[in-house]
Amino acid sequence: FDKFGWVPEINTPIFLATDIGPVPISEKEVKIGTIPGTNYPVLLNLQEAITHHTAILGVTGSGKSVFCRDLIRKVASSGTKVICVDFTNEYRSKFPDLEPQDMVPAQTRQEIDKAIETLSAELEKFGNQQNKVLITAQQAILMDKFSACVKDFLASDRQMSLFDLPDISNTTGILEYTRWFFRGLFQVARQENNLGKQVCVVLEEAHTVIPEWNFIGVDDKKAQSVVNSISQIALQGRKYNVGFFVVAQRTANVSKTVLTQCNSIIAFQQFDKTSSDFLTNYMGAEMAAALPSLQFRQAVAVGKAFRARVPMIFEVPEIQEATGEPENPPTTPTP
């Protein structure tokens, strides 16, 4: 049986919606969908969505990923610089129209990898055996290299850049690589105001970048330092024209320090109680209870970036991506 969501309680008054005329849309707004069964548009202020951070949540097969990529294209076409942190390496093939390039060029990556390996090896030693001068020198190299990469991207004509993981053999080195990138990004934002550019950082599969403390695992101190670096930007980024799109399947394993800084939420189908409890604080119990019953390409929108100040269920139009791949609903029920 197919569930039908948001059915009213017995004896509840029903109001029939009628079509409306064209709704004026400002330069900063984009239409992301309509109220199901109507032509009522759902309008998103791109600048507010970026500067005040936006979370895009939903299980696999709900239409979240295609919607997110389409929204990223809209952001890039508005003149905002987009940095995609994608450890799945999926975005490279999904944005052929934007021709994204690596944030860190191959030659620079070799220099950074060498500094990371030297630094990691030194930090693995006991405190009284560490070469403090060597550690300081490697840290300075990492800050300079990553800051230079960020500035090169901001000064270029490219609208999108990809940050992916290097070929480093140990987990500690990967975490250090990620942490120093964000430290370099924040330094450019704070000291040089991003060269006058607005920056949107997309955290795809956010639980791999900013896990909740009880999902961090063995390298908990290193991973927590990465979360702290990103959290610092999330807390202060609005002052420096840096914003986040946090993309995740569920809220349970994503850092609440970052997630609670998202002033706008777009929630596709969700099933787990942890996500429902968390989202209830944003959209109320009634809307949160409707999340498991949402259909393909349906979501709940709420927050500062939306013209409407109340939570609303909306439907995303069918999107044809630049890759030419069709957007299909899941063929089997989601467990």
pLDDT tens digits, 301-326: 999 999 988 999 999 999 887 665 55
Give 235-291 pLDDT, tens digit per residue. 888 889 899 999 999 898 888 888 999 999 999 999 999 889 999 999 999 899 999
Start-to-end CA span in the chain (Å) = 14
Distance CA 44, CA 29 (A): 5
- Kindly state the tokens that stand for 151: 């500035």
pLDDT along the chain (335 residues), means of 10: 70 88 92 93 95 94 93 93 85 87 90 88 84 92 95 95 68 76 92 93 86 61 75 86 92 88 95 91 92 93 93 93 60 49
| Cα 107 to Cα 48, 71, 139, 253, 301, distances in angstroms | 37, 32, 18, 35, 43
Specify the amino acid at residue 87: F
Question: Hey, what amino acid is at 27?
Answer: E
Structure tokens at 218: 């063995």
3-state secondary structure of 39: coil
For position 225, what pLDDT does the model report? 77
Residues 6+ away with beta carbon under 8 Å from 263: 48, 52, 53, 54, 303, 304, 305
- Collect all residues with Cβ–Cβ distance below 8 Å to 244 and sequence separation of at least 6: 53, 54, 200, 201, 202, 203, 233, 234, 237, 258, 261, 262
* Strand segments (E) across the chain: 29-34, 41-45, 54-57, 81-85, 101-102, 160-163, 199-203, 242-248, 264-267, 298-303, 312-315
Long-range contacts, stretch 222-225, CB < 8 angstroms, 24+ apart: 222/171, 222/172, 222/175, 222/176, 222/179, 223/175, 225/175, 225/179
pTM for this entry: 0.87
CA distance 263 to 50: 10
Confidence (pLDDT) at 57: 96
CA distances to 143, 161, 209, 242 from 152, in Å: 14, 11, 24, 16
In angstroms, the CA 323 to CA 201 distance is 22
201: which DSSP letter?
E
